[in-house]
Amino acid sequence: MATKLPETRAESVFKDFKPAYDTAHALAEANRCLYCLDAPCIGACPTSINIPEFIRKIATGNLRGSARTIFESNILGMSCARVCPVEVLCVGECVYNRMDQPPIQIGKLQRYATDMAYDEGWEFFEAGPDTGKKVALIGAGPASLSCAHRLRRYGHACTIFEKRDVVGGLNTFGVAPYKMKADRAVTEAEWVLGIGGIEVKTGVEIGVDVSFSTLEHDYDAIFVGIGLGPDKHLGVPGEDLEGVYGAVDFIEAIKLEPAAFDGVKSVAVIGGGNTAVDCVREALGLGLGAVTMVYRGTEAVMPGYAHEWKAAKVDGAHALWQRSPIAYEGENGRVSGLRLQVFDEHKQPVAGQEERIDADLVLVAVGQSRLLDLLKLDGVNMDHRRILTDAGGFTGRPGVYAGGDLANGAKEVVNAVAEGRDAAVAIHAYLTEA
């Protein structure tokens, strides 16, 4: 089971970016929902939560039913309510957008109903009758938790192997703290495990401590939900200077440790994706001086969500567009600035155009490495960046399934939940076929 998180964590200073609804708010918003048929919000949800139905149940006061409707499709509905980029998913598709009225705040309503379920201790699901089948799940993140929970409803015994000593995966160590803090993710993981019959072995890395072939021998099926690997770096001089962090390492430090970044006056965040924007907002939230995002392309082509970048700008972020570091400069072993190459609008370097900026903290958010080695096995389909599966997570190797960032190339938590759930359906079919 999960090891306790440290009491003091750097993330504690953050407040909720989207504060929780009280009852009056929730009722007013729920009653505004049109209860559409074939609602586009459902189509935009990777887990296909019956959104109009759960909102109607808030409006009628059937909160237990509302939460059940959510969890039936998405057992991690509590964290997804906080971390989903609803602006580009359900909320973005709300029909009110088409009449230029504010869309329904689906995420906040989902949080209202699911938090209520946690607070009240409502239980919704029971494990199915024991089938005698055993499934191993690698990684204790959203994909495996979702998969294991569904497998338990079918009655299959589950063992999750997690190389860290905390459960929850990216939800615990990688979510921006103004969306959700680590303790909430651990609470959720333990709530999911509450269905019983899921053994969690932390501190066990498959491929290091236990071989994959041992798992194949000992279990009837395997689900692989190991996510992504360590931060990538640009391979420019000065990367070993103190004060240069990979983005994921930085976020994990503020999520899980009482990390302090004393004396930082200016921060440079390299990259233009969502992790980069998270780093920008986190550095600003921690009060680490001036924060500048350095991105190779223009604002128009940055891969990070527009609504997140807009919020970062409100927080006080600056950007240097069409720039990328060619070296980190340091003093006494500590980073002090960056030399930047200027790019044209096609992300091509402009010869001879270089600049320099100060920075005593550099956060490199240019992607994460891939953990494909574990599955370089006969039958497993993969390309250079992900495991290729069918809609049920089947990898091509009998009994081996995958989901989450490993298989989708890095999407949202809610995608991992959907893929874990759907893989469980496929594994169940595999285990029970005649």
Partner 1 sequence: MPDLSTNCAGITSPNPFWLASAPPANSGAQVMRAFDHGWGGAVWKTLGQPIQNVSSRFGGLHYRGTRGIGFNNIELITDRPLEVNFKEIYEVKKRYPKHAVVVSLMVETEEEWQDIIKRSIDAGADGLELNFGCPHGMCERGMGSAVGQEPTVNEKITSWAKKYSSVPVLVKLTPNVGDIVPHGIAAQNGGADGVSLINTIKSIIGVDLDRLVPEPRVGNASTNGGYCGAAVKPIALHMVAALARDHLFNLPISGIGGISNWRDAVEFMALGASSVQVCTEVMLRGYRVVEDMIEGLENFMRDKGFERLDQLIGKAVPTYSEWGDLDLNYEIVARIDADKCIGCHLCEVACHDGAHQCIHNDPNGSFVPVVDEDECVGCNLCQIVCPVPGCITMAEIDNGYAPATWNEHVWEGAKLRPKKGAH
Query: Letter for the amino acid at 266?
Result: S
Is residue 313 a contact partner of residue 340, using CB atoms and an 8 Å limit? no
Does position 65 interact with partner 1 (CB under 8 A)? The reply is yes
Kindly state the tokens that stand for 361.
């903290």
Question: Which residues in 368-407 contact partner 1 (CB under 8 A)?
Answer: none
Give the residue, chosen from 18, 53, 349, 377, that forms a contact with partner 1 under the rule CB under 8 A: 53
Q: Please name which of 164, 161, 250 lies closest in space to residue 210, comparing C-alpha atoms.
A: 161
Going across the sheet that includes 349-358, the strands are 323-331, 334-343, 349-358
Give the residue, chosen from 8, 15, 24, 332, that forms a contact with partner 1 under the rule CB under 8 A: 24
Stretch that binds partner 1, among 4-12, 63-71, 77-85, 181-189 (CB under 8 A): 63-71
Does position 61 interact with partner 1 (CB under 8 A)? The reply is yes
Does position 62 interact with partner 1 (CB under 8 A)? The reply is yes
Helix, strand, or coil here: 24?
Answer: helix
- Closest separation in Å from C-beta 62 to partner 1: 4
Give the residue, chosen from 23, 48, 211, 369, that forms a contact with partner 1 under the rule CB under 8 A: 23
Give the chain's radius of gyration (CA, Å).
22
Interaction mask 32-51, partner 1, x per CB under 8 A: ---x-x--------------
Stretch that binds partner 1, among 56-64, 184-192, 375-383, 409-417 (CB under 8 A): 56-64
Size of the site for partner 1 (CB under 8 A): 14
Q: How many angstroms from the chain centroid is the CA of residue 121?
A: 25
Stretch that binds partner 1, among 57-65, 195-203, 228-236, 420-428 (CB under 8 A): 57-65
Q: Please name which of 305, 338, 336 lies closest in space to residue 236, comparing C-alpha atoms.
A: 338
Helix, strand, or coil here: 364?
Answer: strand
Largest CA distance in the chain: 70
- Closest separation in Å from C-beta 84 to partner 1: 24
Helix, strand, or coil here: 290?
Answer: strand
Q: Please name which of 430, 424, 434, 433 lies closest in space to residue 151, comparing C-alpha atoms.
A: 424
- Closest separation in Å from C-beta 119 to partner 1: 16
Applying CB under 8 A, the residues found at the interface with partner 1 are 23-24, 27, 35, 37, 53, 56-57, 60-62, 64-65, 68
